[in-house]
Chains A and B, each alone.
Chain A
Amino acid sequence: MTPEPIELPSSQGELRHHVLSVLVENKAGVLSRVAGLFSRRGFNIFSLAVAPTDPSQRFSRITIVVDAASAPLSQIVNQLDKLINVVEISHVNEQSVVERELLLATVGVASDQMAGALALCASFGAEVLDATASEVTVTLAAHPDQINAFCELLAAYRVDQLHRTGLVALPRLTTPPVSPASAEPTDPHSN
């Protein structure tokens, strides 16, 4: 794939976290190649999420939140693009992305706090997955900012375990991928 140089958003000076949505071949060792590249080039990753994308399982999508303070974004993208298993890279900025993250948390709740805790969950749309008289396990799939806010408020209780998946993101449908190799994933030779 041969992406054009990434057009940085005008607010780049303030933007440190950049979301790269990377389509890769779903082969053994690909995640290790991507992670190894970031490590040996000194690029920092805030979060990384990966799963197969298409029914044939030929490709996976890796959503990487990178720290553009550690290296210029164009350098990160161009080095990533040199990995043979990387098929397409989309840079999605905050204005043109749909983002979701999943939270699972187990919270200890005294009996007199239970009503308040459940109300908090309800106000965020979090779902109770499991509960005992003194603990609840809740889940929330939301924008990372909402997850942050929810976590802050959960801290009023005794948080026993908390797990976040890291961000997954896709470009809004009005925004084309930055790379010209934006052909159908099932027919990557078409361009």
Chain B
Amino acid sequence: MELTGAQALIKALEHQGTEVIFGLPGGAILPVYDPIIDSSIRHILVRHEQGAGHMAEGYALATGRPGVAMVTSGPGATNIVTPLANAYMDSTPLVVVTGQVATGSIGTDAFQECDITGVTSGITKHNWLVTDAKDLPRIVAEAFHVATTGRPGPVLIDVPKDVSQSMMEWYWPEGTADLDLPGYHPPVGVDDAAIAEAISMLLAAERPLLYVGGGVIQGGASADLRALAERLNLPVVTTLMARGAFPDSHAQHLGMPGMHGTYTAVTALQRADLVVSLGARFDDRVTGKVDGFAPLAKIIHVDIDRAEHGKVRHPDLAIVADCKVAVAALASAAGSATPADRSAWWDELRGYQARYPLTYEPHDGHGLLKPQQVVETLRDLSPAGTIVASGVGQHQMWASQFWNFEEPRTWINSGGAGTMGFAVPSAIGAKVGRPDRTVWAIDGDGCFQMTAQELVTARAEGIPVKIAILNNAYLGMVRQWQEMFYDERYSEVYLSPDLPNYVMWAEAMGCVGIRVDDQRDVEAAIEQANAIDDRPVVIDFRTDASEKVFPMVPAGLSNDAIMVHPSQEQR
């Protein structure tokens, strides 16, 4: 069967099970947009290519399937660079197709030409410049294979216009043997001896801790994690990327570690004699000053990417494996073994929990809303299984702290890259992937202004996401640092609560817009939003800019320097 390269590309995406492409056409990708009309794949027309990338990320994070985005060459391609960098940091599987100028024009500074494979080589797991249409099915199959196996990540396929226009004889690769990836062999299985050693270390430890990262969600290892933790009576902390990997309601869960983690989670790491890292990467936001991190602990590091072993902290035992395989093996090997007496350790941890719970001062009937309280009310009034997306900043930390995550893939956020503006488009992508779920974006006013235009996409495509803006009229996290570490010298952080007018903006985009500036109206507004299912809703919550995120480990200091909420400071 003779096809154009463009037809072959779309057919290959169909063969990979692609159900949706987030994209925006342009000159160099024009040929590929023609067969989309006849394809079973849903295309969602975004208003900015960055939106396409973040939607694909939200889709991938919510479903576990790779997100697919398609944009044109030049500025279309560079606009999706931020989502690629974001997905690379968070190991999110994405397949991005970019148009490219015709092969004969490459290198001539042609209209809308950009060396996007060069630009993205450091922020993709791999990328391909297709030079012959007959390579397209194989490269698409390779791209999905690379994006979704081993440590997942984003990949990019750059397709010159003449390649998509030329003819080829259709074929489809039969399995990985037909792929041309001589240097790619992701680890499979796990070393039984290492598992046995890990178990004996776990049994002997007096103050063990499971440090759970995004790899547990990527690997679908939550059930095995729970079995392991329960069999050996292990306390668990879940990183920002792992919220939902272990139920927040579980008695063994100590919360999130790191710069804005719970006092108990942070201190448990500092006091543990054995830290078992499961698909986490010792990010600086977790470790604080590395030299002072978990100073008493031996480290077992489970990661499918061996380059993570020893990158930050030298492990006493390194296990190269998919978390799915390794955690299942650990849970199985734990069996009915009897661990060392942990009662003293649990007593210590329970003491921290009792003394330093997450806290804030609730609204006293006057003034602006308390952002933490808004998050708690939203949590309490939303259906079980609600998916929460967030941007980056204070609102993200409050969402992570005060939401109760009970299952994996219900928390969509930008962890490693810290990409402001992530919430709106990623919530849209999550809702496309999980239309059965309520999807709330908890956003900041600064973040919202970066990508809000995608609510036009959401309305046009019938994607009823809900956005809660915690509008404190500031770039709040920067403001917090300026207040605490720059003598309250506020430099370029004020945004105004009324400019833009968020309600009018929401309505102009076809959404329902609601403003809440009175604590008594919070519940009614949320209930109104939850009842709307035919269009997006935006609630502009007017919040108190003086609220800060606590606990906090100041940047560059040891976790031992954790600052608790002022109400918990020793009197």
A residues adjacent to B (C-beta < 8 A):
1-2, 5, 24-25, 28-29, 32-33, 36-37, 40, 72, 74-75, 78-79, 81-88, 181, 188-189, 191
Contact (Cβ within 8 A) A75 B310: yes
Residues of B within 8 A of A85 (CB): 126, 183
Contact (Cβ within 8 A) B122 A84: no
Other than the given A78-B306, A81-B307, 16 more pairs (CB < 8 A) read A2-B185, A2-B186, A2-B320, A24-B183, A28-B129, A32-B121, A74-B310, A75-B307, A82-B305, A82-B307, A83-B183, A84-B146, A84-B184, A87-B183, A188-B182, A189-B177
C-beta contact mask, B167-201 vs A, less than 8 Å → 1, else 0? 00000000001000111111100000000000000
Interface range, B side: 20 to 34
Residues of A within 8 A of B118 (CB): 29, 32
If A28-B129, A29-B121, A84-B146 touch, whether A75 touches B181 (CB-CB below 8 Å) is: no
Q: Return A75 CB to nearest CB of chain B, in Å.
A: 6
Residues of A within 8 A of B310 (CB): 72, 74-75
B residues adjacent to A (C-beta < 8 A):
117-118, 121-122, 125-126, 129, 146, 177, 181-187, 305-307, 309-311, 318, 320
Contact (Cβ within 8 A) B183 A84: yes
Nearest first, the 4 closest Cβ-Cβ pairs linking A and B are: A188-B182, A78-B307, A87-B183, A84-B126
Residues of A within 8 A of B318 (CB): 5
Given the complex of chains A and B, what is the CA–CA distance between A188 and B305 in angstroms? 21
Residues of B within 8 A of A83 (CB): 126, 183
Contact (Cβ within 8 A) A29 B183: no
Interface residues of chain A: helix, strand, loop or mixed (majority): mixed
Given the complex of chains A and B, what is the CA–CA distance between A114 and B221 in angstroms? 76
Given the complex of chains A and B, what is the CA–CA distance between A74 and B315 in angstroms? 13
If A24-B183, A181-B185 touch, whether A36 touches B122 (CB-CB below 8 Å) is: yes
Given the complex of chains A and B, what is the CA–CA distance between A64 and B42 in angstroms? 47
Residues of B within 8 A of A5 (CB): 306, 318
Q: Return B160 CB to nearest CB of chain A, in Å.
A: 13
Contact (Cβ within 8 A) A36 B121: yes
Given the complex of chains A and B, what is the CA–CA distance between A84 and B185 in angstroms? 9
Given the complex of chains A and B, what is the CA–CA distance between A61 and B118 in angstroms? 21
- With both beta carbons as reference points, the residue of chain A lying nearest to B318 in the complex is identified as A5
Contact (Cβ within 8 A) A29 B182: no
- With both beta carbons as reference points, the residue of chain B lying nearest to A29 in the complex is identified as B117
- With both beta carbons as reference points, the residue of chain A lying nearest to B182 in the complex is identified as A188
Residues of B within 8 A of A82 (CB): 125, 305, 307
Residues of A within 8 A of B185 (CB): 1-2, 181, 191
If A74-B310, A75-B310, A81-B307 touch, whether A86 touches B183 (CB-CB below 8 Å) is: yes
12 A-B residue pairings within 8 Å (CB atoms):
A2-B185, A2-B186, A2-B306, A2-B320, A28-B129, A29-B117, A29-B118, A74-B310, A85-B183, A86-B183, A181-B185, A189-B182
Contact (Cβ within 8 A) A75 B311: yes
- With both beta carbons as reference points, the residue of chain B lying nearest to A74 in the complex is identified as B310
Given the complex of chains A and B, what is the CA–CA distance between A138 and B92 in angstroms? 55
- With both beta carbons as reference points, the residue of chain B lying nearest to A181 in the complex is identified as B185
Given the complex of chains A and B, what is the CA–CA distance between A37 and B182 in angstroms? 19
Given the complex of chains A and B, what is the CA–CA distance between A29 and B125 in angstroms? 15
Contact (Cβ within 8 A) A33 B307: no
Q: Return A181 CB to nearest CB of chain B, in Å.
A: 7
Contact (Cβ within 8 A) A84 B121: no
